[in-house]
């Protein structure tokens, strides 16, 4: 958003494209989100492809339970980063933020099988005492995995707005929850020791479990700080030129501001550009008038944003080749007459 020192000349020269995201080499986390059905997955996939041209390694993560990036790239992805066919430095993975610790791949947990299963069960029971912390811890563990792989930039293809706002609050939720757990450490440790004796696991060291929590806390704090650092994190809002989508976008922008998360890009998708010299049909002319009205409102509301306008296409965007072609439109300013 524009600061008080932003001048009218600065606003007039804001390029109507996503080139600023590629040029900002310090970015570590790029979120792409908005109302359902506006083309978030296509935009995030295209952005990831363009970023792969200027960064060493790029990961796109789908946090939408629908997992449309598999359809976008016409390739099956899982909970583990997988290289996308046709690229050497672009990877994808799909996670469901609604699922908890039990749904994480087994390789995320260290130690023997017995210890691992008991540890997961106990952690899950303990997590149930903190509402919402289970899925937040699942997310935290994925963030730890992603962080350890040292991707240059991570693009999030997020679920519709409500889930996205909860996702962005997870680092704070985890930090608060882990802080509570660690403060209760002295009371919890004897309980674990006693339970281990009852089930015949006298060798189980409860300190190992608390150490895992302690090791995770600084990682979560780091992610929390990075999410609120405009040099490292930005949110790209995708919408269409209709009332409900505009309303949802404004709600999203306001909530992001409350969370201190940077956003200065709006992508307006599925715009109907009328061919010059041709008389449009009645339906096309009506849709064009509606879109022009809301596009004017978007320009007024977000004068301090980069507003990228994308056309309504006459075909589906599916497969790496088509997504790559679509992504070129991010850098070709369009105007609605």
The conformational region for residue 280 under phi > 0 = left, psi -120 to 50 = alpha, else beta, is beta
Alpha helices in the chain (DSSP H): 8-12, 19-23, 40-51, 69-73, 113-127, 133-148, 161-183, 185-198, 206-227, 243-258, 282-301, 320-327
Q: How far apart are CA 237 and CA 169, in angstroms?
A: 17
Residue 248 burial (10 A CB sphere; 0-12, 13-18, 19+): buried
Residue 64 bears catalytic tag:
yes
Q: Answer yes or no: are the C-beta atoms of 31 and 156 closer than 8 Å.
A: yes
Say if CB 336 and CB 309 are below 8 A apart. yes
Q: Give the C-alpha distances (Å, rounded to integers) separating 335 from 206, 234, 295, 310.
A: 63, 25, 11, 9
Q: Is 38 helix (H, G, I), strand (E, B) or coil?
A: coil
Distance in angstroms (rounded) separating the CA atoms of residues 287 and 303: 24
Out of 9, 10, 56, 64, pick the active-site residue: 64
Q: What are the C-alpha distances in Å from 155 to residues 30, 50, 89, 93, 311?
A: 5, 11, 13, 11, 23
Cα separation of 49 and 22, whole Å?
Answer: 11
d(CA 236, CA 3): 18
Q: Which helix (H) or strand (E) holds 199?
A: none
Catalytic positions are 64
């Amino acid at each position: 958003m524009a600061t008080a020192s932003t001048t009218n000349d600065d606003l007039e020269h804001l390029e109507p494209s996503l080139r600023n995201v590629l040029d900002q080499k310090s970015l570590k986390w790029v979120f792409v989100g908005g109302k359902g059905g506006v083309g978030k997955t296509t935009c995030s996939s295209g952005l990831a492809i363009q970023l792969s041209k200027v960064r060493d390694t790029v990961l796109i993560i789908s946090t939408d339970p629908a997992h449309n990036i598999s359809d976008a790239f016409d390739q099956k992805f899982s909970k583990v980063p997988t290289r996308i066919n046709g690229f050497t430095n672009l990877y994808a993975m799909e996670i469901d933020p609604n699922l908890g610790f039990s749904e994480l791949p087994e390789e995320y947990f260290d130690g023997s099988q017995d210890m691992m299963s008991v540890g997961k069960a106990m952690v899950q029971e303990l997590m149930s005492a903190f509402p919402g912390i289970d899925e937040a811890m699942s997310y935290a563990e994925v963030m730890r995995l992603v962080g350890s792989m040292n991707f240059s930039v991570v693009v999030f293809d997020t679920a519709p707005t409500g889930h996205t706002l909860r996702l962005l609050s997870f680092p704070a939720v985890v930090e608060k929850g882990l802080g509570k757990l660690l403060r209760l450490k002295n009371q919890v440790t004897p309980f674990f020791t006693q339970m281990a004796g009852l089930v015949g696991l006298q060798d189980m060291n409860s300190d190992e479990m608390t150490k895992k929590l302690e090791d995770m806390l600084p990682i979560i704090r780091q992610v929390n700080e990075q999410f609120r650092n405009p040099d490292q994190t930005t949110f790209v809002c995708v919408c269409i030129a209709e009332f409900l989508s505009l309303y949802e976008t404004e709600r999203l922008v306001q909530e992001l501001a409350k969370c201190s998360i940077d956003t200065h890009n709006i992508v307006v998708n599925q715009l109907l550009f009328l061919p010059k010299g041709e008389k449009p049909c009645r339906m096309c002319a009506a849709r064009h008038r509606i879109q022009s009205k809301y596009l004017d409102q978007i320009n007024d509301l977000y004068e301090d944003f980069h507003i990228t306008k994308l056309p309504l296409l006459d075909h589906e965007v599916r497969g790496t080749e088509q997504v790559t072609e679509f992504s070129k439109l991010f850098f070709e300013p369009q105007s609605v007459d």
